[in-house]
Amino acid sequence: MSSDTVLVLGASRYQLEVIQKAKELGYRVATTDNVPDNPGHALADARFDVDTTDVARVVALARDLAPVGVIAACTDVAVVTAARVSEALGLPGPPPAAAEVLTSKVAFRRFLVETSRPTPPFGSIDARTWDGREPAEVAGAAACVVKPEGSSGSKGVFIVRGETELAARAPASFAFSPVRRAIVEAFVAGRQGTCEGVVQGGEITLAVVTDRETAAPPYVATAGHRVPCRLSPGERTRVVDAIAGVLDALSVRTSPFDCDFVLGDDGEVYLLELTPRLGGNSLTELVRASTGVDLAEVAVTLACRAGSSPVVAAAERPAAQLVLGVPTAGALTFDEQELARLRGEPWVRALTLDVPRGHPVEAFVNGRERVGEASIVAEGRDELDLRVEELRRRLALGVTP
């Protein structure tokens, strides 16, 4: 391929925007993914059926392709591989050591402890040795969260109360972990949020802080984001400062980033996850609707050293990005007439359903089980909240047995 190739790790729906943007900017795109029918492959100029976590094979592929940039967007599992490719070829990207810390739940928690940053008590369990008891570090906690090591998209993540619930849920967490391990940490009560942003030259030049909505317990899958967030200016500053401190400590100087956090009822900012990549769940669409910044374009230009000007964002317009799902499995139902009417509303930027009416769907317990998404704008945050409820009421998503 030509020397202006961009290598995109992953070809699912969440990499489509980056692939399309790279092509619009004049780059040839090569994709690598272990799912042959993923839609990104159809857009690429060249496709390779190589697992994005197979570091050696992807690095070898990159040496042959000689790309000008490599991107792992919207998924944690390819971030370390991208960092290794960048290191091997002298391309922009986070240091591999930082990528390894930020994509490992256990390593990130240990880093937070070692650098005296707030983190909930936690312990790890291994499917091969676990005796069914709560880790000593969280014994006595009113509630815990169990998360598979090495997974993403909230797959295999559960809120549990006591050893009985932990024992019931742990096998599902182990099943989503490529190393058959999970982290168990005390549940942090507070306000959940996400920060989608950009660090350039060691300075955060964009930080869009959202209010994050999740699925009903015991699940924690992201169900939506709304901006502007309800945090006070001072609370928002504390969140951004906490992110900046971690990125600086790990020498992540130029990169998009995605962070999930909780502002605890105790006043502490707890960084749950922080990764040097674009966020999933169409957060790029939310940022574009709210600020006018095209994060997909930013990600491509930063990866290819094609631009170094600081990102400039407009004032945040109230906007919401919803991940649509249903609470139980069954045949999907919705109001088809209202679907058409909603698509014509001026405050609905986009409304898509992944499957037709009557199609079997699963309960929304992780990102794989979504049935669609919606993008909404408004003139104020209170109006935005009303519009979100109106869309859900009129669309009337549900199932029949």
pLDDT digits (tens, 9 = 90+) for 314-349: 889 999 999 999 999 999 999 999 999 999 999 999
Average confidence (pLDDT) over 217-231: 96
pTM of the full structure: 0.94
Q: Return the CATH class of domain 318-401.
A: alpha beta
Strand order in the sheet with 46-48: 46-48, 28-32, 5-9, 69-71
Nearest in space to 255 (alpha carbons), one of 73, 106, 388: 73
Average confidence (pLDDT) over 139-164: 92
Give the model confidence (pLDDT) of 116-146 as tens digits. 999 999 999 999 999 999 999 999 899 999 9
Confidence tier at 371 by pLDDT (50, 70, 90): very high
Residue 187 contacts residue 120 (beta carbons within 8 Å): yes
Whether 274 shows a pLDDT value over 50: the answer reads yes
Q: Which residues, in sequence order, are bridge partners of residue 376?
A: 320, 348
Rounded Cα gap, residues 241 and 259, in angstroms: 12
State the SS3 of 39-88: HHHHHCCEEECCCCCCHHHHHHHHHHHCCCEEECCCCHHHHHHHHHHHHH
Mean pLDDT for all residues in the chain: 95
Give the model confidence (pLDDT) of 62-121 as tens digits. 999 999 999 998 889 999 999 999 999 999 999 999 999 999 999 999 999 999 999 999
Give the Å distances, CA to CA, from 362 to 35, 192, 201, 317, 325: 21, 25, 44, 34, 9
In degrees and rounded to multiples of 5, residue 145 shows phi and psi of: -120, 130
Name the segment(s) of the chain with CATH classification 3.40.50.20. Answer: 5-91
Q: What is the pLDDT of residue 3?
A: 63
Report percent pLDDT > 90 for the chain.
90
Q: CB burial class (10 A; 0-12, 13-18, 19+) of residue 146?
A: buried
Q: What is the pLDDT of residue 1?
A: 46
Name the segment(s) of the chain with CATH classification 3.30.470.20. Answer: 189-317, 318-401
Q: Which CATH number fits domain 121-186: 3.30.9.90, 1.10.10.10, 3.30.70.1230, 3.30.1490.20?
A: 3.30.1490.20
Find the helix or strand (DSSP H, E) in which 29 lies: strand 28-32
Q: Which CATH superfamily is domain 189-317 in?
A: ATP-grasp fold, B domain (3.30.470.20)
Domain 5-91 belongs to what topology? Rossmann fold (3.40.50)
Q: What is the pLDDT of residue 23?
A: 96
